[in-house]
Protein backbone atom coordinates (compact mmCIF):
# COMPACT_ATOMS: atom_id res chain seq x y z
CA UNK A 1 0.00 0.00 0.00
CA UNK A 2 1.28 3.34 -0.89
CA UNK A 3 1.36 5.95 1.74
CA UNK A 4 1.08 8.98 -0.43
CA UNK A 5 -0.22 12.00 1.37
CA UNK A 6 -3.41 13.35 -0.09
CA UNK A 7 -3.21 16.95 -1.05
CA UNK A 8 -6.35 18.34 0.51
CA UNK A 9 -5.45 21.84 -0.51
CA UNK A 10 -6.00 20.86 -4.13
CA UNK A 11 -9.54 19.70 -3.39
CA UNK A 12 -10.30 22.75 -1.33
CA UNK A 13 -9.79 25.26 -4.05
CA UNK A 14 -11.10 28.68 -3.21
CA UNK A 15 -14.27 29.63 -5.00
CA UNK A 16 -13.27 31.65 -7.99
CA UNK A 17 -15.04 34.95 -8.09
CA UNK A 18 -17.28 35.15 -11.10
CA UNK A 19 -16.48 37.96 -13.46
CA UNK A 20 -18.73 39.93 -15.73
CA UNK A 21 -20.65 37.41 -17.87
CA UNK A 22 -20.30 39.74 -20.83
CA UNK A 23 -16.64 40.69 -20.85
CA UNK A 24 -15.26 38.77 -17.87
CA UNK A 25 -13.98 41.79 -15.99
CA UNK A 26 -14.34 42.20 -12.27
CA UNK A 27 -17.94 43.01 -11.41
CA UNK A 28 -18.87 46.33 -9.90
CA UNK A 29 -21.10 46.46 -6.87
CA UNK A 30 -23.69 48.67 -8.52
CA UNK A 31 -23.97 46.49 -11.59
CA UNK A 32 -23.33 43.02 -10.22
CA UNK A 33 -22.75 40.58 -11.66
CA UNK A 34 -21.73 42.90 -14.46
CA UNK A 35 -18.78 45.25 -14.55
CA UNK A 36 -20.69 48.22 -15.87
CA UNK A 37 -24.10 49.42 -16.91
CA UNK A 38 -23.11 48.88 -20.49
CA UNK A 39 -22.57 45.18 -19.98
CA UNK A 40 -25.74 45.03 -17.92
CA UNK A 41 -27.67 46.59 -20.77
CA UNK A 42 -26.13 44.18 -23.24
CA UNK A 43 -27.27 41.22 -21.22
CA UNK A 44 -30.66 42.75 -20.59
CA UNK A 45 -31.25 43.50 -24.25
CA UNK A 46 -30.38 39.94 -25.13
CA UNK A 47 -32.74 38.67 -22.53
CA UNK A 48 -35.55 40.96 -23.60
CA UNK A 49 -34.89 40.04 -27.21
CA UNK A 50 -35.63 36.45 -26.35
CA UNK A 51 -38.73 37.38 -24.42
CA UNK A 52 -40.17 39.71 -26.99
CA UNK A 53 -39.52 37.31 -29.82
CA UNK A 54 -42.90 35.76 -30.22
CA UNK A 55 -42.87 32.54 -32.19
CA UNK A 56 -45.15 32.67 -35.17
CA UNK A 57 -47.39 29.70 -35.18
CA UNK A 58 -50.16 28.75 -37.47
CA UNK A 59 -52.85 28.43 -34.93
CA UNK A 60 -55.82 26.46 -36.11
CA UNK A 61 -58.52 28.94 -36.98
CA UNK A 62 -61.92 28.54 -35.59
CA UNK A 63 -63.47 27.31 -38.76
CA UNK A 64 -67.14 27.08 -38.41
CA UNK A 65 -68.40 23.81 -39.81
CA UNK A 66 -70.83 24.06 -42.59
Site for Zn ion, rule CB under 5 A: 20, 22-23, 25, 35, 39
Min dist. Cβ of residue 53 to Zn ion (A): 24
Sign of CA dihedral 40, 43, 49, 55: negative
- Comparing CB distances to Zn ion, the nearer of 35 and 58 is 35
Residues with Cβ < 8 Å from 26, sequence gap 6 or more?
A: 17, 19, 20, 35
Q: Which residues contact 64 (CB under 8 A, 6 or more apart)?
A: none
Task: Output 25 or 32, the one with its CB closest to Zn ion.
Answer: 25
Q: Supply the minimum distance, in Å, between the C-beta of residue 25 and Zn ion.
A: 5
Query: Smallest gap, in angstroms, from Cβ of residue 28 to Zn ion?
Result: 9
Amino acid sequence: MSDDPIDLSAARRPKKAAGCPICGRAPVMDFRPFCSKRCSDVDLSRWLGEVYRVPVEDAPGEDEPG
